[in-house]
A and B are shown apart, each in its own frame.
Chain A
Amino acid sequence: MSIVAVQLGQCGNQVGHEVFNTICGDVRGTHGLCSKKENEAYHDACTERFFSEAESGVPVARAVLVDMEPKVISQTLSIAARSGHWKYDDQSHFCQKQGSGNNWANGYSVHGPRNKEVIMNLVQKEVEKCDRLSGFFTIMSMAGGTGSGLGAFVTQCLRDAFPTSFILNHVIWPYGTGEVIVQNYNSVLTLSHLYQSSDALLVHENDVIHKICAQLMHIKQISFRDVNQVIAHQLGSVFQPAHTAEAGLHYSRNPLGDLMEALVPHPEFKMLGLRNIPQMPENSLAYSTFSWPGLLKHLRQMLIANAKMEEGIDWQVRPPCPGSSISSSHSTNKLLHFNTSIANLVILRGKDMHSVDLGSFRDPSLYTSWLNPQDAFNAWKTPRAFNKYEKSASLVSNSQFLLKPLDNVVGKAWNMFASKAYIHQYTKFGIEEEDFLDSFTTLEQVISSYTNL
Chain B
Amino acid sequence: MRRCRALPAAVGALCRALPPRARLAPDVLRRARFDRPQATLDFWRLLYALLKQIHGGEWTESDAIDTQIRFVKSALWYHGYGRPELYQLPSDGSAGSRELLLAFSWLLHRVNLLEWLLARNRVKTGDETSVCTCEDDLSHSQKDTTEMAPGLEDRVDVRYLQWLNGKLRFQWRSLHAQHQEQCKLLHKIHLFTSGSHTDQALGHFSVTETDLIRHPENYNQLLQHLELETMQLEAFLEWKQLEAVYWQWMETVLDNMAEEGSLRTVRDAPVETSRLQEGATCCPWAESMTVQIDRLSGEMTALHSQLQELVARRRSAWCQKVKTREEELQKEDFSTKLGKIEESVELKLLDLTNHGAPNKNKMHGSCRLVFRSKRSASKTGFGGSASKEPVPAVSATEVIRELRMREASLQRELKQLQDECKQRLDGIAERLDGVICISP
Q: Per the CB under 8 Å rule, do A and B touch in the complex?
A: yes
A interface list, Cβ under 8 A from B:
1, 131-135, 164-166, 199, 254, 257, 260-261, 264-268, 368-371, 375
Question: Which residue in chain A gives the minimum CB-CB distance to B160?
Answer: A370
Query: Would B170 and A133 count as touching, CB distance under 8 A?
Result: no
Query: Would A369 and B157 count as touching, CB distance under 8 A?
Result: yes
Query: Would A370 and B157 count as touching, CB distance under 8 A?
Result: yes
Query: Would B180 and A268 count as touching, CB distance under 8 A?
Result: no
Smallest CB–CB gap between A377 and chain B, Å?
13
10 contacts between A and B (CB under 8 A): A132-B177, A132-B181, A133-B180, A254-B177, A257-B173, A257-B174, A261-B171, A261-B174, A265-B167, A266-B166
Q: With a CB–CB cut-off of 8 A, which chain A residues contact B166? A: 264-267
Residues of chain B in range 125-176 having any CB-CB distance to chain A below 8 Å: 155, 157, 159-160, 162-167, 169-174, 176
CB contact under 8 A between A265 and B181, given known A370-B160, A371-B160, A371-B163: no
Rank and list the top 6 A-B pairs by shortest CB-CB distance, nearest first.
A265-B166, A132-B181, A370-B157, A265-B167, A257-B174, A164-B176
CA distance A371 to B165 in the complex (A): 13
Query: Would B163 and A375 count as touching, CB distance under 8 A?
Result: yes
Q: With a CB–CB cut-off of 8 A, which chain A residues contact B160? A: 370-371
Question: Which residue in chain A gives the minimum CB-CB distance to B166?
Answer: A265
Question: Which residue in chain A gives the minimum CB-CB distance to B169?
Answer: A265
Chain A binding surface SS class: loop
CA distance A266 to B165 in the complex (A): 8
Q: With a CB–CB cut-off of 8 A, which chain A residues contact B177? A: 1, 132-135, 164-165, 254, 257
Question: Which residue in chain B gives the minimum CB-CB distance to A453?
Answer: B159
CA distance A115 to B234 in the complex (A): 66
Question: B185 contacts the other chain (Cβ, under 8 Å)?
Answer: yes
Smallest CB–CB gap between B181 and chain A, Å?
3
Q: With a CB–CB cut-off of 8 A, which chain B residues contact A375? A: 163
Query: Would A370 and B159 count as touching, CB distance under 8 A?
Result: yes
Q: With a CB–CB cut-off of 8 A, which chain A residues contact B180? A: 132-133
B interface list, Cβ under 8 A from A:
155, 157, 159-160, 162-167, 169-174, 176-178, 180-181, 184-185, 438
Checking A134, A199, A267, A369 against B162 with a beta-carbon cut-off of 8 angstroms, the contacting residue is A267
Q: With a CB–CB cut-off of 8 A, which chain A residues contact B185? A: 131
Smallest CB–CB gap between A323 and chain B, Å?
16
Smallest CB–CB gap between A436 and chain B, Å?
21
Q: With a CB–CB cut-off of 8 A, which chain A residues contact B159? A: 266, 268, 368, 370
Checking B170, B174, B184, B438 against A265 with a beta-carbon cut-off of 8 angstroms, the contacting residue is B170
Q: With a CB–CB cut-off of 8 A, which chain B residues contact A254? A: 174, 177-178
Smallest CB–CB gap between A380 and chain B, Å?
16
Q: With a CB–CB cut-off of 8 A, which chain A residues contact B174? A: 254, 257, 261
CA distance A135 to B169 in the complex (A): 15
Counting chain A CB atoms within 10 Å of each CB, the highest count among B164, B174, B185, B438 belongs to: B174
Q: With a CB–CB cut-off of 8 A, which chain B residues contact A264? A: 166
CA distance A266 to B164 in the complex (A): 8
CA distance A368 to B159 in the complex (A): 10
CA distance A368 to B163 in the complex (A): 12
Smallest CB–CB gap between A165 and chain B, Å?
7
Smallest CB–CB gap between B419 and chain A, Å?
20
Query: Would A166 and B173 count as touching, CB distance under 8 A?
Result: yes
Smallest CB–CB gap between A195 and chain B, Å?
14
Q: With a CB–CB cut-off of 8 A, which chain A residues contact B171? A: 261
Q: With a CB–CB cut-off of 8 A, which chain A residues contact B438? A: 268
CA distance A1 to B157 in the complex (A): 35
Q: With a CB–CB cut-off of 8 A, which chain A residues contact B164? A: 265
Query: Would A257 and B170 count as touching, CB distance under 8 A?
Result: yes
CA distance A51 to B172 in the complex (A): 26
Question: Which residue in chain B gives the minimum CB-CB distance to A452?
Answer: B159
Smallest CB–CB gap between A246 and chain B, Å?
11
Smallest CB–CB gap between B394 and chain A, Å?
26
CA distance A19 to B172 in the complex (A): 29
Smallest CB–CB gap between A345 and chain B, Å?
14
Smallest CB–CB gap between A139 and chain B, Å?
21
Q: With a CB–CB cut-off of 8 A, which chain B residues contact A164? A: 172-173, 176-177
CA distance A367 to B323 in the complex (A): 78
CA distance A133 to B167 in the complex (A): 19
CA distance A375 to B156 in the complex (A): 14
Q: With a CB–CB cut-off of 8 A, which chain A residues contact B181? A: 1, 131-132
Smallest CB–CB gap between A330 and chain B, Å?
17
CB contact under 8 A between A166 and B170, given known A132-B178, A254-B177, A370-B157: yes
Q: With a CB–CB cut-off of 8 A, which chain B residues contact A132? A: 177-178, 180-181, 184
CA distance A133 to B180 in the complex (A): 8
CA distance A110 to B358 in the complex (A): 53
CA distance A168 to B160 in the complex (A): 22
Q: With a CB–CB cut-off of 8 A, which chain A residues contact B176? A: 164
Q: With a CB–CB cut-off of 8 A, which chain B residues contact A131? A: 181, 184-185
Q: With a CB–CB cut-off of 8 A, which chain B residues contact A369? A: 157
Smallest CB–CB gap between B420 and chain A, Å?
22
CA distance A135 to B180 in the complex (A): 13
Counting chain A CB atoms within 10 Å of each CB, the highest count among B155, B165, B166, B171 belongs to: B166
Query: Would B167 and A261 count as touching, CB distance under 8 A?
Result: yes
Q: With a CB–CB cut-off of 8 A, which chain A residues contact B165? A: 265
CA distance A375 to B181 in the complex (A): 28
Smallest CB–CB gap between B173 and chain A, Å?
5
CA distance A164 to B180 in the complex (A): 11
Counting chain B CB atoms within 10 Å of each CB, the highest count among A133, A267, A369 belongs to: A267
CA distance A343 to B417 in the complex (A): 32
CA distance A12 to B173 in the complex (A): 26
Question: Which residue in chain A gives the minimum CB-CB distance to B170?
Answer: A261
CA distance A144 to B250 in the complex (A): 86
Q: With a CB–CB cut-off of 8 A, which chain B residues contact A267? A: 162, 166
Smallest CB–CB gap between A178 and chain B, Å?
37
Smallest CB–CB gap between A168 and chain B, Å?
12
Question: Which residue in chain A gives the minimum CB-CB distance to B440?
Answer: A267
CB contact under 8 A between A266 and B184, given known A164-B176, A254-B174: no
Q: With a CB–CB cut-off of 8 A, which chain B residues contact A265? A: 162-167, 169-170
Q: With a CB–CB cut-off of 8 A, which chain A residues contact B155? A: 370
Q: With a CB–CB cut-off of 8 A, which chain B residues contact A133? A: 177, 180
CA distance A375 to B166 in the complex (A): 12
Smallest CB–CB gap between B246 and chain A, Å?
51
Question: Which residue in chain A gives the minimum CB-CB distance to B181?
Answer: A132
Query: Would B173 and A165 count as touching, CB distance under 8 A?
Result: yes
CA distance A369 to B156 in the complex (A): 10
Smallest CB–CB gap between A192 and chain B, Å?
17
Q: With a CB–CB cut-off of 8 A, which chain B residues contact A135? A: 177
Question: Which residue in chain A gives the minimum CB-CB distance to B176?
Answer: A164
Q: With a CB–CB cut-off of 8 A, which chain A residues contact B163? A: 265-266, 370-371, 375
Q: With a CB–CB cut-off of 8 A, which chain B residues contact A1? A: 177, 181
CA distance A243 to B177 in the complex (A): 19
Question: Which residue in chain B gives the minimum CB-CB distance to A262?
Answer: B167
Smallest CB–CB gap between B367 and chain A, Å?
24
CA distance A358 to B160 in the complex (A): 24
Question: Which residue in chain B gives the minimum CB-CB distance to A266?
Answer: B163
CA distance A213 to B171 in the complex (A): 38
Q: With a CB–CB cut-off of 8 A, which chain B residues contact A165? A: 173, 177
Counting chain B CB atoms within 10 Å of each CB, the highest count among A164, A165, A166 belongs to: A164
Question: Which residue in chain B gives the minimum CB-CB distance to A264?
Answer: B166
* Inter-chain pairs besides A257-B177, A266-B159, 11 sampled, C-beta below 8 Å: A1-B177, A131-B181, A132-B178, A132-B184, A164-B176, A261-B170, A265-B163, A265-B169, A370-B155, A371-B163, A375-B163
